[in-house]
Structure 1
Amino acid sequence: MEDFIKAAHSNDLEKTQATLCVFSPEQIAGPYFRNDRLERYDITEGADGVPMELVLNIVNFNTCEPVEGLLVDIWHCNAQGLYSGWSEVDPDQEAPSGEIGSIPRTDEDSYLRGCGLTNEYGNCSFLSVFPGFYAGRSVHIHVTVRKLDEQHNDRHVAYVGQLYVPELISSQINELPGYAGRKIARLRNEQDEIYSEMHGAGTLLNMDWVNRGTAQERLLGTVVIGVDPDAFSTYITPEDFDKDTV
C-alpha cells in the first residue's frame, strides 16, 4: 500500500487517487449488517474512543480506474466490542453464527454505522472512533460496495469485505482507558481464522497518527479496494435485505 498517496487534510484526501491496482477478495458480512442508508461522514453519534478517519479508495479491478457513484457502507463495534442494533449481545461471548439475520436485534441504535458515495477519485471518507474487539475476532471494520441503478435501488451488492488494523496500532490502543480492562484477551490478526483464511485479503489499513498533539489529533487509515462493480456478491444477496434484522 506504499503507493497510496496519503495527505494530512481531508480536502487533499478527497482528491487522492490510487496508483496501485489491487483485487480485494471478499470476506463474510457477519451477523450485524443493517441497511439503514445513513449517508454521512461522521458516524460516531457520540461514541467514546480514539478519533479515527478512514479514506477508502475504490477502483475497478478490471480497468484500474477509480469508480464514482458507488455506495460504500461501513460498520464496526465500539470501544467495548458492542454493535449498534445488538448492544445487549455480550461481546465477551462468541456469536453463535456468522450469518446475516442469525442474531435477533436488541435495539434501534445506529452508532458507528454509515455510508457514502464515492467521488470522482473513487474515494469515500468516514469519521469514526477506533473499534474495540469481541470474542473470537481481531479488530476489524466491515465494508460493502454497492452499485446503484437509475432508481437508486441499493440491493446490488458488488463487494463485501473486512478491513484490518496493524498490530502495533491495536496493541497501543488496547492499553488506553475505555479499551483496557476487558475480561477476555484481544485476538491478534494472525489468530483470527477469518483474517488467516485470506491472509488479510489485501485489506490491511495503512494507518498512522495525524495532527499529533493537537485538538485535531486522530488516526488516519487509508486503503485501496479493488472490486468489479458489475459483480454480484454471494455474501449479501438481494434476498438478505428482506430479513427482519436488516
Structure 2
Amino acid sequence: MHLNALWKLCLLGLSLPVALGHPGEHEAEDDEVTIIHKRMFKENARRGLDQCAKRFEESGFNARAETRRRALYDLHRRSLASRDTDSVLDTSHLVTDSSITASTDAADLFTSSSTCVLNPEGEVGPFYVLGELVRSNLVEDEEGVPVILDVQFVDVTTCDPIEDLYFDIWNCNSTGVYSGVVSNGNGNSNDESNIDATFLRGIQPSDSDGVVTFNTLFPGHYSGRTTHHHVIAHLDVTVLSNGTITGGTVAHIGQLFWDQDLIYEVEAVSPYSTNTVTITTNADDRVFATETEDTTSDPVFNYVKLGDDLSDGLLGYITIAVDTSATYDPTYSFVYTANGGVAESGGSDEIGGDGGSSSSPGGGGSGGAGGGPSQ
C-alpha cells in the first residue's frame, strides 16, 4: 500500500475561582514518599525492560506490530535503547532517507525504532478536562498539520500488551489554545464559548496488541512550554451510553514530544506562523528534561512524513511501558457535561502540580462526572 492511498483512508476513518497558569507552571515539589515511589518505579522498569526485548520477539508481539504498522506505513521492530536528556535531544526521530517518496512501499520505510518508558507520576497540567468523548478523530474544524498517532501500551512487568487501556489525549491547537477551557493564559480569556469546545481531545481503548490510533493535529506552542501532547492511561473503566467513561483507575500520566527541527518546520507554515509568542525549545523545557532524565525514557515520537509536503501529514508512533499497579488521581479544572463545559476542580489538591498523588480506585481523575452529550 502506498503513502497517499493510506493517508486518504485514515482521514475517512470562564473564569476560574482562582487564576491558573498554563500547563507546566506552579509545579509542586515532590515529597519524600513520591521520591521513593519514583525511584522504585525506575528500578523496576529497568529490570522489567531488560527482559522485555526477548519476550517481545519470542511471543510474536514484534511481528504483529510490524504487520499493523505496515498498514500505517510503519515497519515496527522496537529495541529497548538507553537514553538521557542529551541523547534524546541529539537523536533524530525522523524515520526516512533521501530515497523515501510519497509512493514508497510501506515495507521499505522503517528498520528500527525506540521504546518509551514514562514515569506514571508525570505532570498533567491544569487544563485536563474530565468527561471527554470516546472517539478516534479529534480534528473537528481546526486547521494545521494532520497527524496520525499510533501508540502502543505494554505492561512494564510482564512485557505483555495492555488491552482495553483507555488512552486519554489532548493538546493545544495550532496557535496554542486548548479547547474546553476559559482561563488567563489560554488564548482569548473573554471567549466564553471555548468552554464548550472539544477539539483535539479524546479517548480511545487499546486493542489486543495494546494499540490506540488517533487522527489529530500537530500541536502549536504557547509561552513557557515546548510542543507536546498530554497523556493519561485509564484502566478498568466503564463506557457509558453517552460515549464517555467512568470509574476505574489512572495508571499513567505523562507528556509526549516531537523533534525540535520538525517543530521549527511546522511552525514556519500557516496557521502556526501567525503565533508571535516566543518558542520554548525541548532543551529549555522543564517537563521534557524531567521525562528524559532517566536512561529508560525517550518520550519523543518516531515519525514519517506521509507526502512531499507537511500538508500531507505525519505518522507518529511510540510504545509506552506502564506500571499497571500504579494508581494516580490527576487534577482537573473543567468538566465536559451533557450541557457543555463547566469549571469544576477535582482530583489532587495541587492544580497544575505534578498530577501524581496516589489515590484509591475510582478517584476523581478517572470518572465520567456526568459525561458528554448523548450521541
TM range (shorter): 0.7 to 0.9
Deviates more, 1:159-168 or 1:30-39: 30-39
Which digits, 9 at most, give the CA deviation of each residue in 1:74-128, with x for residues without a partner?
00000000000125644479xxxxxxxxxx9961110000110000111000001
Does 1:194 find its partner at 2:287? yes
Measure, in 1, the Cα distance between the counterparts of 2:130 and 2:70.
Answer: 31
Measure, in 1, the Cα distance between the counterparts of 2:70 and 2:310.
Answer: 13
* TM-score, normalised relative to structure 2: 0.54
Report the CA distance between 1:208 and its aligned residue. 2.1
Structure (1/2) with the larger helix percentage: 2
Query: Quick one: structure 1 residues 22 and 194, their matched pair in 2 at CA, closer, same or farther if it must change by over 3 Å?
Result: closer
- Percent identity over the alignment? 24
Measure, in 1, the Cα distance between the counterparts of 2:328 and 2:281.
Answer: 28
Does 1:205 find its partner at 2:301? yes
The size of the alignment, in residue pairs, is 231
Q: Which residue of 2 aligns with 1:29?
A: 124
Which digits, 9 at most, give the CA deviation of each residue in 1:39-65, with x for residues without a partner?
111001111101011111000000111
Q: Which residue of 2 aligns with 1:55?
A: 150
Does 1:135 find its partner at 2:220? no
1:146–1:229 contact (8 Å) kept in structure 2 = no
Q: Which segments of 5 or more consecutive residues in structure 2 lack a partner in the other structure?
A: 1-61, 81-114, 240-244, 330-354
Does 1:74 find its partner at 2:166? no
Query: Quick one: structure 1 residues 155 and 30, their matched pair in 2 at CA, closer, same or farther if it must change by over 3 Å?
Result: farther
Q: Which amino acid aligns with 2:71?
A: H
Q: Which residue of 1 aligns with 2:274?
A: 181
Report the CA distance between 1:185 and its aligned residue. 1.2
Runs of 4+ off more than 6 Å? none
Measure, in 2, the Cα distance between the counterparts of 1:185 and 1:52.
Answer: 23
Q: Which amino acid aligns with 1:62?
A: T
Measure, in 2, the Cα distance between the counterparts of 1:117 and 1:177.
Answer: 33
Larger radius of gyration: 2
Does 1:159 find its partner at 2:252? yes
Cα-Cα RMSD: 3.3
1:60–1:227 contact (8 Å) kept in structure 2 = yes
Query: Quick one: structure 1 residues 34 and 212, their matched pair in 2 at CA, closer, same or farther if it must change by over 3 Å?
Result: same
Does 1:225 find its partner at 2:287? no
Q: Which residue of 2 aligns with 1:99?
A: none
1:17–1:121 contact (8 Å) kept in structure 2 = no
Measure, in 2, the Cα distance between the counterparts of 1:220 and 1:180.
Answer: 22
Q: Which residue of 2 aligns with 1:97?
A: none
Measure, in 1, the Cα distance between the counterparts of 2:289 and 2:238.
Answer: 38
2:250–2:328 contact (8 Å) kept in structure 1 = yes
1:92–1:183 contact (8 Å) kept in structure 2 = no
Please list, as runs of the form range in 1=range in 2, the aligned pairs for 1:90-109 lying within 5 A after superposition.
90-91=185-186, 107-109=195-197
